[in-house]
Structure 1
Amino acid sequence: MLPSFLIIDDFLTNPHDVRRQALGLDYDPKFKQGNYPGLISTQPLPTAAIDKTVSNILGRTVRPAINTSHGHCRLTLAGDKGRSGVHIDPCFYSGILYLSQPEHCKGGTDFFRHRRTGLESVPSNEMRLIESGYTNPNTLIEEVVNKDTNSASKWERTMRAPMRFNRLILFNPWLFHNAGQAFGNTPEAGRLVCLLFFASGKIS
């Protein structure tokens, strides 16, 4: 069984080079297709080395999940707002690589418990799902995650993974989570992360 949450500090051997690459990507507002705050890069960073290292860490081969933003970077500045909040990820395993400079880092990634159901994630087995009052996970996602995504009173924060330069967090994508605060007035001072959405299986 994969761990529900991991933190790996000093993940990259060349973090400043990767940060420069990330800042050099195009963040065209016309490319934005999600409910997230900020802008996402039109192209991904190369992730072959990251995918291999994460596979070694997990002891299980993972690869980029298709139809996701794997390897794309997200830049979020102070005042940027999204249309959704607490959410889950459509993949086998999730990762976020923090690329903001140490002097700019604030917040991180927050994880939540849904107050009404007591759930911290979409249940992974049928018995726990039934105990939560649902028989279909898609119904739970719609009535819990999607319905209450922006209702702060419906959620209790259980943990924050603090942002730190060159820190990678890996986690179960079914955990209820949300990006921490946005900050900065320029790309160089803003919240910069590389998004990782993994599928299980052989890396092509």
Structure 2
Amino acid sequence: MADIEQQRLTRHPGFRVQVDYVGAERQPVVCIDSFLSDAEQLMEDAVARGRFSDNTGFYPGLRTPAPGSYFRALYELLPEIVEEVFGIGNHQIASAESSYSLVTTPPEALHPVQCIPHFDSNHPTELAMIHFLCGPEQGGTSFYRHRETGYEYVDEARRDRFIGALEAGTMPPKGYINGDTELFERIASYEAAFNRLLLYRCTSLHSGNIAEGFPFDTNPRTGRLSINTFLLNE
């Protein structure tokens, strides 16, 4: 196999785009099936990298950087979709971060904020993606509404009220959210599917679907492998 860093990753011939506007606040979610022709090579690259590193942020698992060729593919294949759906031009994207990711943290080891839906930033012109390199048995991704505030996204104007409402209430017991709770209502859900990419605003409240009995497999070939990407303004 050629060095994936030097390859030009290309669009899969079965590339299919679906755009949904979820919840009462109609936040856009782009679902692309059969994203890249080279998805199997990306999985093999993740396997070849060996041990992933412990994550220093709030991702509940292990990560390692994705290859530079993956960044180049995103910039080549997604700008028209990003501008049409989100109204964000290439000139507004200052940087991108992409990492191979594996969910490996057991429920009892979660930080409290990992037990509820989260936002990735408060800037609506920043975008998040998850590119699944695993199947539906690993659990997909869901979007949520905070019942007390009615918020389905949290930008700068909403942040203080959202955080205040959480701090004033009772946080749930340790465990992954996977559906409706007293605090949150699920408004949309997307199954994992190999080579499926989800694209949404960083402000949208979301969480991975990690079901009871999830194996927390650290092997990239058999675990919940994905590439998680952020398109940032700075």
TM over 0.5: yes
Task: Give how far 1:34 is off.
Answer: 1.6
Sequence identity, in percent? 23
Which residue does 1:140 correspond to in 2? 161
Which residue does 1:130 correspond to in 2? none
Q: 1:12 aligns with which of 27, 36, 51?
A: 36
Residues 145 and 6 (structure 1), Cα distance of their counterparts in 2 relative to 1, 3 Å cut: farther
| Preserved contact between residue 9 and residue 167 of structure 1 (Cα < 8 Å) | yes
Runs of 4+ in 1 over 6 A off after TM superposition: 145-149
Q: 2:146 aligns with which of 94, 110, 114?
A: 114
TM-score by length of 2: 0.66
Query: Does residue 44 of the first structure (1) align with residue 58 of the second (2)?
Result: no
- Tell me the distance in 1 between the aligned counterparts of 2:58 and 2:203: 18
Q: What pairs with 1:21-100 in structure 2 (closer than 5 Å)?
A: 21-25=45-49, 26-29=51-54, 32-41=55-64, 43-46=65-68, 47-59=71-83, 60-61=89-90, 63=93, 65=95, 70-77=97-104, 79=106, 81-83=109-111, 84=114, 85-90=116-121, 92-100=126-134
Residues 78 and 38 (structure 1), Cα distance of their counterparts in 2 relative to 1, 3 Å cut: closer
Question: Which structure carries more relative contact order (alpha carbon 8 Å, separation 6+)?
Answer: 1
- Tell me the distance in 2 between the aligned counterparts of 1:148 and 1:10: 42
Unaligned runs of 5+ in 2: 1-26, 84-88, 173-180
Residues 183 and 148 (structure 1), Cα distance of their counterparts in 2 relative to 1, 3 Å cut: farther
- Tell me the distance in 1 between the aligned counterparts of 2:208 and 2:101: 11
Residues 178 and 56 (structure 1), Cα distance of their counterparts in 2 relative to 1, 3 Å cut: same
SS of the equivalent of 1:105 reads helix
- Tell me the distance in 2 between the aligned counterparts of 1:149 and 1:166: 38
Q: Deviations over 1:117-166 (max 9, x none)?
A: 11111258xxxxxxxxxxx4331342246777963421111111110000
Which residue does 1:197 correspond to in 2? 230
- Tell me the distance in 2 between the aligned counterparts of 1:94 and 1:82: 22
What is the CA RMSD across the aligned residues, in angstroms? Answer: 2.8
